[in-house]
Amino acid sequence: MTDTTAIGEKLGGEEFLDVEAAIQNNASKHHHHAPARSSLTQQQPSSIRKFFCYPSPNSLKIKSTSWLDGVRGIAALGVYIFHTMGCWASLGAAWHSDENQNSILQMPLLRTLFVFGSPAVALFCILSGYVLTYKSLSWMRNGSRHRVYPSLASSMFRRGFRLYIPPILVTFCEMLMTRFGVNPPLNFTFVPESNLFDQFIDWIQETNRFVNPVYIFKDSMQGHVHDHKYDPVIWTIPVELYGSFYCYIMLFFLAKAPSNSMRMGLIALFAGVCMVLGSWNLFCFSAGMLIADFNLSQGEDNTVISFKPRRREVVWMTIFAAAFYLAGFPSLLDPAVKLKPMPGYETIRWLIPTSLNLTNPSWFWWSISGVSFLLSISQLPRLKKIFETNLLQYLGRISFSLYLLHEFCLLLFGLKIQSILMSVAGLQPKSNTFVYWIACGIWYILFTALVFAVAARFEKWVDVPSVKFARWLEGKCLKIYRTSR
What does the pLDDT profile of the chain (485 residues) look like in tens digits?
433 333 333 333 333 333 333 333 343 344 444 444 444 444 545 787 788 887 655 556 788 899 999 999 999 999 999 999 999 999 998 898 888 888 999 999 999 999 999 999 999 999 999 999 999 999 999 999 999 999 999 999 999 999 999 999 999 999 999 888 888 888 877 888 989 999 999 999 999 999 999 999 999 999 988 889 999 999 999 999 999 999 999 999 999 999 999 999 999 999 999 999 999 999 999 999 999 999 999 987 654 455 678 899 999 999 999 999 999 999 998 766 766 788 899 999 999 998 999 989 999 999 999 999 999 999 999 999 999 999 999 999 999 999 999 999 999 999 999 999 999 999 999 899 999 999 999 999 999 999 999 999 999 999 999 999 999 999 999 999 999 88
| Cα 176 from chain centroid (whole Å) | 27
Residue 8 lies in a domain: no
The number of distinct structural domains making up the chain is 1
Rounded Cα gap, residues 426 and 428, in angstroms:
7
Residue 13 lies in a domain: no
What DSSP element (H or E) covers 383?
A: helix 381-386
Residue 229 lies in a domain: yes
Domain encompassing residue 153: 19-484
Q: Report phi then psi at 240, rounded to 5.
A: -65, -40
Residues whose CB falls within 8 Å of the CB of residue 148, separated by 6 or more in sequence, listed in order: 136, 139, 140, 251, 252, 255
Residue 11 lies in a domain: no
Helices (H), 277-360: 280-300, 309-326, 346-350
Using an 8 Å Cβ cutoff, are 135 and 83 in contact? no
Residue 332 lies in a domain: yes
Rounded Cα gap, residues 159 and 444, in angstroms:
34
Residue 14 lies in a domain: no
* pTM, rounded to two decimals: 0.89
Residue 158 lies in a domain: yes
Q: Report phi then psi at 340, rounded to 5.
A: -115, 145
First to last CA, the chain: 14
Q: How far is CA 168 from CA 125, 178, 401, in A?
A: 21, 15, 13
Closest CA to 163 of 324, 332, 11, 47: 11
Residue 6 lies in a domain: no
